[in-house]
Each structure stands twice: as structure tokens, then as C-alpha cells.
């Protein structure tokens, strides 16, 4: 990976590489590389990766202490606005739900596995009481406590390799990570259990990537659109609309998952108390073309049943 040149290349200049910004972690560069290869295969345009270090990468604080939303995103957006990169690739679940008018999600490629996975030597049900499970996500902790309230859930930070290392060293009995990320890293063989969405709802947008560029680059927005998958965009739009309407950040104990069933979009969301004692879980169905409204309406129903109170308790 090397730094891009100063100034932005025009889309019409097919000989010069487009500069894609990415976080520097192995996970980020791997998934960004997949997007770059796909764009080149579809358009013939070369792409070079530009590594960017974000605040979330260097801070040692837990994600909840950092505020969660945007800590892996702002530095990449700064590079976009400054013209040092042409576009950026993010894990969609890291993006704030509040739109920044300076940037546009030009494409959401087809989604990988949205589910959560346990890396360890046994399935969750087979672990002994008191077993230590690592995760930095209040959403995962809350839902795990619904399944196994007798286990100890340990907040952890670090990249996937660091977290998995805590299992191989014996420090933890298991860690929970996104199945999509493990697949991109080629580490599926270390998964002891995939949690079905009925057991553990994923984070809104989990498994999906966002390709973002400046809003004033109409030519680039159109060019990057070849990567967009309409079905994935509709599904994740519904999920993120729930999160936005609940006024909850990506570190809140909110899970949501939407999938196409025939001509309808089925959306399920849940807010779970971090101690696992209470949950508000609801589902709805509607037209994929109105996915944002579907999410907002479901969130309103959840708020009426006390979801906002559960989020407020976690925040304090």
C-alpha cells in the first residue's frame, strides 16, 4: 500500500489510479482490496489503497467510552474533503446515521454474512458456568446474557487477530466477532458457532460495506455506482433507519436485521437491557422501496413499548 499523489484524478482519465482510502488494519485493507479488485474488474480502472489511521484505531478506550459512532470514520472523511483520496471504504455499521452533506454513499456492494460468530473451542451452550467471553459490544453482551446469564462477559478492544489470540492463549474461553470479517480474513475454521439472527440480532448494516465519496463529485458517484447492490441497500437502509429513529449510536444495545422475502422486506429489531433482564423486540414487513419509512415506523412502535428507556439506561 502506498500513498496517493496530491490532487484528485478525473474519472475520465482511465490511465491514472483512483485513490481509495482505508483504515490500516488487516481487516480493513483486506475488505477494501476486495472492493478495489471488483471495481477494476467491472470498469478496467486501476485503484490504489491509501492507508489512513483513525482515532478509533489509536485510542485504547472502550468503544462505549469513545461514544462509538464515527470514531473509525472521521479521519477518512477528512481525507476525502481535503482531496487526498478519491473515495473511501467503510464497514457500514461504523458509519453515523446522521448524514454529512459533504459526502455521499455512492455504493453498497452485496452484503456478506451479517451474523455474529463465536470463536472458541465450544458452542455457547456447552461452555461451563463462569466461562469468560470477550466482546467490546454492548449489543452482543446484552443478547449473550439472554442466552447464558451465567457466563462472564469481558470488554475487549483490538483487531480480530488480537482478540482471537486471547482465546488461543487461554485468557478467554471465546470471543464474539462478525462472521463476515472472519470470512474475509479466511479464519472461518476457528468459528465454533454462528449465531442465527433469531438468537442474536446483528448490528444494523453488519456484513455490508459502504463506498463513500464527495457529494460534489457527480462523475465519481455515477462511476462507483457499478458496485451498488439495490437489495442490500434497501435492507441496510431499513436497519439504519431504526437506529437513527431510536437516536442510538453504533455502541448502543440495538440489533436489527432486514431480508427480502418475495416482494417484501422483513425487518426485525431489538433493544436489550445490557444486563439481559429486559428486551423490546418487534418485526414488520413492507415494500423495499419504502425501507427508510419501514425502519422509522418500527422504531416508533419500539419506543412506545419502552425501547428508549432501555437505551437511556445503557447511556448512563
Instruction: Provide the terminal-to-terminal Cα distance of the chain, rounded to the nearest Å.
Output: 42
Q: Are 57 and 24 in contact (CB under 8 A)?
A: yes
* CA separation for the pair 200, 178 (Å, rounded): 11
From residue 221, alpha-carbon distances to 34, 75, 229, 246 in Å are 19, 20, 14, 29
- 278 catalytic residue (yes or no): no
Backbone angles phi, psi at 19, to 5 degrees: -100, 115
Identified catalytic residue from 19, 23, 77, 93: 93
* CA separation for the pair 225, 242 (Å, rounded): 25
Q: Is 150 helix (H, G, I), strand (E, B) or coil?
A: coil
- 140 catalytic residue (yes or no): yes
- Sheet with 174-178, side-by-side order of all strands: 152-154, 132-134, 174-178, 116-120, 191-195
Q: In whole angstroms, what separates CA 120 from the centre of its chain?
A: 22
Q: Are 117 and 193 in contact (CB under 8 A)?
A: yes
Identified catalytic residue from 145, 163, 166, 184: 163
Identified catalytic residue from 19, 115, 140, 240: 140
- 184 catalytic residue (yes or no): no
- 111 catalytic residue (yes or no): no
What totals of helices (H) and strands (E) does the chain contain, helices first? 11, 13
Tell me the H-state helices in the chain: 26-43, 55-58, 63-66, 74-82, 138-147, 160-168, 179-184, 218-224, 230-245, 291-304, 307-315
* CA separation for the pair 71, 80 (Å, rounded): 16
- 214 catalytic residue (yes or no): no
236: nearest Cα among 272, 253, 211, 215: 211
- 217 catalytic residue (yes or no): no
Identified catalytic residue from 23, 79, 111, 139: 139
- 157 catalytic residue (yes or no): yes
Identified catalytic residue from 94, 112, 116, 297: 94
| Contacts of residue 162, Cβ cutoff 8 Å, sequence gap at least 6 | none
Identified catalytic residue from 38, 45, 132, 157: 157
What is the set of active-site residues? Answer: 93-94, 139-140, 157, 163, 250
Amino acid at each position: 500500500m502506498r500513498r496517493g499523489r496530491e490532487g484528485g484524478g478525473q474519472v475520465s482519465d482511465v490511465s491514472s489510479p483512483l485513490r481509495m482510502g482505508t483504515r490500516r488494519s488487516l481487516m480493513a485493507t483486506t475488505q477494501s482490496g476486495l472492493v478495489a479488485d471488483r471495481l477494476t474488474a467491472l470498469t478496467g480502472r486501476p485503484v490504489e489503497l491509501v492507508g489512513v489511521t483513525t482515532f478509533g484505531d489509536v485510542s485504547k478506550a472502550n468503544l462505549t467510552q469513545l461514544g462509538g459512532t464515527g470514531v473509525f470514520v472521521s479521519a477518512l472523511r477528512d481525507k476525502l474533503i481535503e482531496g487526498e483520496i478519491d473515495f473511501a471504504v467503510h464497514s457500514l455499521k461504523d458509519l453515523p446515521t446522521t448524514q454529512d452533506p459533504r459526502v455521499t454513499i455512492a455504493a453498497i456492494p452485496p452484503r456478506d454474512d451479517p451474523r455474529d460468530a463465536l470463536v472458541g473451542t465450544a458452542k455457547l451452550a456447552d461452555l461451563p458456568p463462569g466461562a469468560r467471553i470477550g466482546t467490546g459490544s454492548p449489543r452482543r453482551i446484552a443478547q449473550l446474557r439472554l442466552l447464558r446469564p451465567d457466563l462472564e462477559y469481558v470488554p475487549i478492544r483490538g483487531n480480530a487477530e488480537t482478540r482471537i489470540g486471547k482465546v488461543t492463549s487461554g485468557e478467554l474461553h471465546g470471543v464474539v466477532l462478525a462472521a463476515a470479517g472472519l470470512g474475509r480474513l479466511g479464519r472461518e475454521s476457528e468459528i465454533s458457532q454462528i449465531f442465527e439472527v433469531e438468537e442474536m440480532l446483528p448490528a444494523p448494516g453488519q456484513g455490508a460495506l459502504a463506498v463513500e465519496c464527495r457529494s460534489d463529485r457527480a462523475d465519481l458517484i455515477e462511476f462507483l455506482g457499478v458496485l451498488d447492490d439495490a437489495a442490500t441497500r434497501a435492507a441496510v437502509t431499513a436497519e439504519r433507519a431504526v437506529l437513527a429513529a431510536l437516536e442510538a449510536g453504533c455502541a448502543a444495545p440495538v440489533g436489527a436485521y432486514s431480508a427480502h422475502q418475495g416482494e417484501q422486506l422483513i425487518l426485525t429489531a431489538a433493544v436489550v437491557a445490557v444486563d439481559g433482564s429486559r428486551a423490546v423486540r418487534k418485526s414488520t414487513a413492507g415494500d423495499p422501496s419504502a425501507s427508510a419509512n419501514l425502519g422509522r415506523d418500527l422504531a416508533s412502535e419500539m419506543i412506545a413499548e419502552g425501547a428508549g428507556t432501555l437505551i437511556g439506561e445503557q447511556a448512563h
